[in-house]
């Protein structure tokens, strides 16, 4: 089955979302301000029917424009980070440093994959990295060509590893962190078990990526791989340019953990870093700004996909059917045995994530309902948290409403259906880690 292009796919999602507002009854939960998370959360047991608010064709079209406004911070970071990396690339710093890396590894060039995967998995675990990878795609593709692997491998060892790290990372403040707060559990609850889950899942994903990379590299001689990288060695200026460009990311990770920074701070930091890199690399002020703008223009298609993806959830929210769908899932789980309910929470969260593509948004929507449900079923509250991180986190790999994923695939030239065929096996292997852990917790609680 051939799927349409990412843009048509997302526009079709807007149409389907609008149709659901005509087909489903409207309803909503009460919400309250939660001082622990600083967010408005759902009050369990308060679902009620409300007046219908179906979305017509014109309102759905307007929602597409509103999606760009709602996703403005994400779009901004894609454009500003992209502009900075294009400056670095035009200076030749990326090509030179990557060339040194490939030549240093020699015939063991595939060792680049676990090194890069560990980096991105760690970033996913620390700050839920995903959109920030889109501007890095050109540099990653250069690295992939140098070691003789295809674009699917490049996406897997970068975005795939980051999404897996986000799902399993015990320190992810935007996913597990919010869910644990809403479950009234300490941030490092069951930290040892969750760390082991992260290590095992990351190892599984790296092995899956290497398996694919070896397959696509089978017909290529190692000498050709090394010879494909005929770049000059990185000089002091190249390394300084790259260090300046990476400094905003390091500052951002520290800012997220210490000062609650967001995407706006990341965009501003990279604007400074990109301009500084251009000046250090020998570009004048005018040339630096011109190249920066060209880099931002190259990322406009990715920004377009992100804005339209956000429009899907806006249509469902305006039509007042998100809570209706959530309540239906919760009602279905209440009548099942405890362990079965624990395992069924995973696909339920996965389906909800297609409708609510923000992991943090889904946490504040579902956890106030799922945590009391876990209590009623005599399940460990960590079971509800792990079910959410598994369902929402792993659905990031497969969801057609994940605008960042579709934008990244488009930038790498990987068709969505090809990514699904590759990633589904790795996702299922990683899911087994969650299933085992949830089953153990369920048996312990019962």
Predicted confidence (pLDDT) at residue 126 exceeds the cutoff of 80 = no
Angle between helices 57-70 and 72-90 (to 10 degrees): 50
- Tell me if residue 395 falls in helix, strand or coil: helix
- Tokens 């956890």, located at residue: 367
Phi, psi of 33 (to 5 degrees): -80, 125
Quote the pLDDT of residue 326.
76
Cα–Cα distance, 320 to 322 (Å, whole number):
6
Phi, psi of 377 (to 5 degrees): -90, 5
Q: Are 55 and 16 in contact (CB under 8 A)?
A: no
- Tell whether the torsion through CA atoms of 359, 360, 361 and 364 is positive or negative: positive
Quote the pLDDT of residue 225.
45
- Tokens 């990279």, located at residue: 270
Summarize pLDDT for 62-115 with one digit per residue, the tens: 999 998 888 787 788 778 877 887 888 787 776 676 666 666 665 556 788 898
Q: Are 222 and 103 in contact (CB under 8 A)?
A: no
Summarize pLDDT for 185-206 with one digit per residue, the tens: 777 777 788 888 888 889 989 9
Cα–Cα distance, 22 to 15 (Å, whole number):
11
Query: Where along the chain do its domains lie?
Result: 16-40+58-445
Predicted confidence (pLDDT) at residue 309 exceeds the cutoff of 70 = yes
Quote the pLDDT of residue 254.
78
Tell me the C-alpha to C-alpha distance, in Å, between residue 189 and each of 128, 177, 184, 424: 19, 10, 10, 29
pTM more than 0.75? no
């Amino acid at each position: 089955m051939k799927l349409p292009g990412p843009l048509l796919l997302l526009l079709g999602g807007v149409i389907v979302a609008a149709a659901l507002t005509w087909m489903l009854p409207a309803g909503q939960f009460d919400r309250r301000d939660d001082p622990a998370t600083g967010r408005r959360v759902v009050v369990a047991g308060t679902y009620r029917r409300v007046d219908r608010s179906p979305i017509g064709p014109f309102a759905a079209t307007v929602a597409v424009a509103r999606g760009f406004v709602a996703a403005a911070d994400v779009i901004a970071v894609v454009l500003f980070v992209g502009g900075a990396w294009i400056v670095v690339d035009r200076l030749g710093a990326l090509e030179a440093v990557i060339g040194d890396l490939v030549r240093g590894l020699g015939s063991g060039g595939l060792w680049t994959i676990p090194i890069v995967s560990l980096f991105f998995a760690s970033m996913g675990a620390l700050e839920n990295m995903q959109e920030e990878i889109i501007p890095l795609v050109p540099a990653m593709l250069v690295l992939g060509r140098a070691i003789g692997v295809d674009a699917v491998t490049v996406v897997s060892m970068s975005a795939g590893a980051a999404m897996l790290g986000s799902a399993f990372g015990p320190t992810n403040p935007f996913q597990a962190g919010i869910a644990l707060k809403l479950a009234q559990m300490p941030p490092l609850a069951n930290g040892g078990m969750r760390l082991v889950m992260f290590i095992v899942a990351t190892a599984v994903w790296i092995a899956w990526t290497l398996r694919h990379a070896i397959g696509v590299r089978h017909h290529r001689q190692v000498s050709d791989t090394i010879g494909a990288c005929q770049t000059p060695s990185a000089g002091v200026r190249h390394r300084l340019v790259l260090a300046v460009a990476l400094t905003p990311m390091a500052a951002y990770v520290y800012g997220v953990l210490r000062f609650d920074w967001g995407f706006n701070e990341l965009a501003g930091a990279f604007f400074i870093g990109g301009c500084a890199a251009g000046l250090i690399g020998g570009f004048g002020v005018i040339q630096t700004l011109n190249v920066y703008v060209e880099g931002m223009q190259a990322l406009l298609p990715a920004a377009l996909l992100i804005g339209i993806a956000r429009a899907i959830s806006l249509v469902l929210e305006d039509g007042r059917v998100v809570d209706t769908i959530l309540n239906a899932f919760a009602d279905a789980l209440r009548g099942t045995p405890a362990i079965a309910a624990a395992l069924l929470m995973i696909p339920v969260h996965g389906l909800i994530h297609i409708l609510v593509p923000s992991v943090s948004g889904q946490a504040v929507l579902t956890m106030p309902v799922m945590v009391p449900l876990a209590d009623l079923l005599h399940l460990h509250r960590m079971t509800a948290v792990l079910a959410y991180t598994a369902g929402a986190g792993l659905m990031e790999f497969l969801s057609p409403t994940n605008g960042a994923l579709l934008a990244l695939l488009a930038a790498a030239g990987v068709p969505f259906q090809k990514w699904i065929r590759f990633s589904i096996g790795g996702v299922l292997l990683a899911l087994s880690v969650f299933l085992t852990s949830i089953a153990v917790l369920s048996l312990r609680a019962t």
